[in-house]
Amino acid sequence: MDIWQQPNPFQSTCEAAMEEGCKIVKSVNSQTRCFRYNNMELAIAFLESNRVVMDQAHADWFLQYIDPKTGKKNGTIYSEGTGVWFWDYTLPEVRDYVVNMVVAGVASPYFDGTFTDDEIGFPVEHEGAPANMGMSPEQVADVRYWAQVASGVVIAKIHDVGKYAFQAFFDGSYDGGNVGPAPNAGTCTAFMTRYCAPEFQNISFTMALDVNSFNQTLAAFLIVRGPIAYIGFGWASGQETWRPEFLWDVGRPQGLCTVVAPGVFSRRWSYGDAVLDCNTWRGTVPAIKPS
């Protein structure tokens, strides 16, 4: 932690540490994908590209306390903790800066893409902030709308430069970029029927692992996933939830999802078949070829 985040966030080198970390990861396996973190709601001082403009000269770029008499900013930047400010996306110059900052941040060859946190906009995870500032519902909605516009532009521009945007992956919902729900015994047939449909066979895909139904979840993922896909535990995907199965080599898909019997779904891979039987809630996965 102390490698990238100092007690004074304005002295931290988080972005440099992320790049060095990805460089090390790729030195071990150049095919490993490494994503850079960005936050679309917050300006955070421990991110070097954020704190470049976190000063009084750019005070208007950030949300401030509202003067109850005028209904406008009173000049005092609202902060939740040291160096945690909120972008004011109603300003075109802020939208331009954040979009260009995120895109420029993935220019390094060690970054394959970006994870843009909190892209659904203010006040996600900070529900008390509007009241603390004295903002009206209309002001909150305005900031949130323009934040989502900026997030959409980020995804398009990241694609244009040949990198990945994690939030462009389909997760079955729009919930702020978390991995999508996995099927369970009750939803299995409906879930697999939906994602075996032709329109879902070539999309970027994310799915959450269920530790209590690991083989079933993994089988479902291998059967319905597109050419670019992610499976994991969302924010909990740290060392404490690492599974050796993440290193399995199942080869390449030899076809698409097929319905082999009512409630039974399968897909052939280089080293075997992934099968999910929703009738018995039993999943099997291909044989492993050591990497």
Task: Report CA torsion sign: 58, 64, 66, 71.
Answer: positive
What does the pLDDT read at residue 176? 39
Burial degree of 157 (CB within 10 A; 0-12, 13-18, 19+): middle
Question: What pLDDT score was predicted for residue 80?
Answer: 93
Judge residue 288's burial from the number of C-beta atoms within 10 Å of its C-beta, 0-12 exposed, 13-18 middle, 19 or more buried.
Answer: middle
Report the chain's terminal Cα–Cα distance, integer Å. 31
The two three-digit tokens of residue 159, written as one number: 């694609």
Q: What ranges do the domains of the chain cover?
A: 9-168, 188-284
Q: How big is the chain by its Cα radius of gyration, in Å?
A: 22
- Beta-sheet strand order (sheet of 113-117): 35-39, 113-117, 164-165
Give the three-class secondary structure for 277: strand
Q: Which ranges constitute the DSSP H helices of the chain?
A: 14-28, 48-51, 92-105, 129-133, 137-160, 188-195, 214-224
Which pLDDT belongs to residue 205?
78
The pLDDT of residue 286 is: 87
* Residue 2 confidence (pLDDT): 58
User: What is the residue-wise DSSP string for 114-141?
Assistant: EEEETTT-TTTT-TTHHHHHT--HHHHH
Distance CA 175, CA 143 (A): 18
Pick out the chain residues at pLDDT < 50: 173-179, 236
Residue 247 has a pLDDT of 78
Residue 34 confidence (pLDDT): 92
- What pLDDT is attached to residue 174? 39
Furthest C-alpha separation in the chain: 70
Tally of residues, the chain: 291
